[in-house]
Amino acid sequence: MPGMTATTAPLQHGRLGVEDPATGRLIQEVPVASGDAVREMASGARQARRAWAEAGFSARAEVFAAARRWLIANQDRVRGVICSETGKTHDDAQVEVTVAAQSFAFWARHAEKYLADERRRTASPLAFGRRVTIRYAPVGVVGVIGPWNYPLVNAFCDCVPALMAGNAVIMKPSEVTPLTGLLCKEMMDAAGAPPGVFELAVGARETGEALVDEVDFVMFTGSTRTGQAVMERAARTLTPVSLELGGKDPMIVCADADVERAANAAAYYGLNNAGQVCISVERVYVEAPIYDEFVGRLVENVKGLRQGPPTAPGESEVGAITSPPQVEIIDAHVRDARDKGASVLTGGRARNGDGRFYEPTVIVGVDHTMACMRDETFGPTIPVMRVADTEEAIRLANDSRYGLQASVFSRDRSKAAAIARRLECGAVCINDAQVNYTVFDAPMGGWKTSGVGSRHGAGGIRKYCKTQTIVGSGPPLKRDLHMFPYTPKRSRLLAAFAKRVYGR
């Protein structure tokens, strides 16, 4: 999921030009935050975070309740801004608004439960009778670096648990899509967030590097290559990171699957947001007995989709390509597949005219020598491969450096669950795809080069905290090892005690 690579050059005098991908026109110029400005933000955030942490969960939840009301009241405006800078359809933009509203409510309700002190019964014979308490303390100032494909959900929604944990947050939106970030800042100010608790740093590489240098924790969503650069820079200051990176998510369609459901899911989850989704269906493996029927239904479905600028809700299903270099990557993958013998059954070209559009594309006759089956395409293409059986499908699905998500389609749910457990990825959906992202109760994270750490669930908020273990807060025993002076007698008692406990 590309996120930090500059695709829109900053204009002179420290301003950034924001382009509408669906029309090619310049929308707005936005001031860029220099490295010095980021350092000033971090200094202010450190001063503001203590009072924010001490305010408690209820006070922070009230701010997010107000933010949720603001978002719902202004959803048409927010959706319009998202459409204008990403080129996505109104329906895809509405998904962002809906999931964000869900995120605000979830973390406001569950943060305190996830971060409550934990009591442990120790197995250590040296600490019998002592109370062991684990507490979660906010890490301090969190830097969130967001991607261009989901500027609300995959940028600001990572700020929500960090803020609810009692941290201050500085968010750097993608330089391609900063306008949604400006709305988030307006929303948090309107919701009553104290000054300095949530800041926005608009910019490209210099801004991002300064942010990594200044904060106590980095949450990054973007490409694997850029994630590696973020991790390397964070290592200089031993700053912990959480990285949600690229994916090449496979779909396995078993011979006993509901073919219509599987074909509909492949079309929707392969092409929603014009395929610019980290957990998009990027390659499909279909068992031979139903391959022809599946491909026929899929092609019929894709041919009926409408593509164009987001003029009004419900008028198009497939939007524009947000980042200019992405069009070249998509086309290179399609041309590589053609050159190696694959067939394009529909689509396969960038559209002429204003805006950046690539036709919804179905490719067959593919194999793992082709880039479209190995590398992240991040566009509206669906390559489909015939396999002999599920064993071949599992082997090919796992033949990837990525491991973000997968999906399995079968009428036999027990079989599908067994297949899911053999797939090397962080999440698997059965007879569906992508829906795990909305399950905030469970972790979402990648294996292999698809990421480090996870978002959502208990770990999704605890990562923004430091742990502290307190031992001995209970009443001491009347007679324990520490009642004896530090003498040879104490050593003999300890040896006898160990022999009794451990049998040696």
DSSP codes, 153-187: IIIIHHHHHHHHTT-EEEEE--TT--HHHHHHHHH
Q: Quick one: CA dihedral 209, 447, 465, 153, positive or negative? A: positive
Residue 122, pLDDT score: 83
CATH of 10-245+455-466, one of 1.10.1060.10, 3.90.1010.10, 3.30.2130.10, 3.40.605.10: 3.40.605.10
The pLDDT assigned to 2 comes to 38
Position 126 scores a pLDDT of 73
Specify whether domain 249-441 bears CATH 3.40.309.10.
Answer: yes
The CA R_g of the chain, rounded to the nearest whole Å, is 26
Catalytic choice (83, 159, 184, 278):
278
Could you tell me which of 273, 225, 268 has the C-alpha nearest to residue 246? 225
- Beginning with the edge strand found earlier in the chain, give each strand of the sheet holding 118-120 in spatial order: 118-120, 132-138, 465-471
Residue 7 is predicted with a pLDDT of 41
Q: Which residues 6+ apart lie within 8 Å of 334 measured at CB?
A: 344, 348, 361, 363, 372, 381
Tokens of 488: 């040879």
The pLDDT, as a whole number, for residue 492 is: 77
Q: β-strands 451-452, 241-244: how paired? A: antiparallel
Report the C-alpha gap between 75 and 183 in whole angstroms. 11
pLDDT at 475: 57
Rounded Cα–Cα distance for residues 252 and 387 (Å): 10
Tell how far CA 306 is from the center of its chain: 28
Residue intervals in the chain for CATH 3.40.605.10: 10-245+455-466
244 labelled catalytic: yes
| pLDDT value, residue 8 | 46
> What is the per-residue pLDDT for 128?
72
Check if 425 is active-site: no
Catalytic residue among 96, 244, 282, 287: 244
Q: b or e along 130-145 (b: 16 or more beta carbons within 10 Å of the residue's beta carbon)? A: bebeeebebbbbbbbb
Can you give the pLDDT at residue 493?
A: 72
- Count the Cβ atoms, other than its own, within 10 Å of residue 38: 26
Q: What is the pLDDT of residue 180?
A: 98
Report pLDDT for 503.
62
What pLDDT sits at residue 85? 98
Which contacts of 486-489 are long-range, i.e. CB under 8 A and separated by 24 or more positions? none
Tens place of pLDDT for every residue, the chain, 504 residues?
A: 333 333 444 444 689 999 999 999 999 999 999 999 999 999 999 999 999 999 999 999 999 999 999 999 999 999 999 999 999 999 999 999 999 999 999 999 999 999 999 998 887 777 777 889 999 999 999 999 999 999 999 999 999 999 999 999 999 999 999 999 999 999 999 999 999 999 999 999 999 999 999 999 999 999 999 999 999 999 999 999 999 999 999 999 999 999 999 999 999 999 999 999 999 999 999 999 999 999 999 999 999 999 999 989 999 999 999 999 999 999 999 999 999 999 999 999 999 989 999 999 999 999 999 999 999 999 999 999 999 999 999 999 999 999 999 999 999 999 999 999 999 999 999 999 999 999 999 999 999 999 999 999 999 999 999 999 999 855 555 555 565 566 777 677 777 776 766 665
pLDDT of residue 379: 98
Q: What angle do CA 196, 114, 164 make, to 5 degrees?
A: 15
Q: Which of 273, 242, 262, 255 is nearest to 445 (CA)?
A: 242
Q: What is the pLDDT of residue 140?
A: 98
The predicted pLDDT at position 245 comes to 97
> How far from 262 is each of 42, 279, 306, CA to CA, in Å?
48, 16, 20
Q: How far apart are CA 383 and CA 399, in angstroms?
A: 15
Numbered ranges of CATH 3.40.309.10 in the chain: 249-441
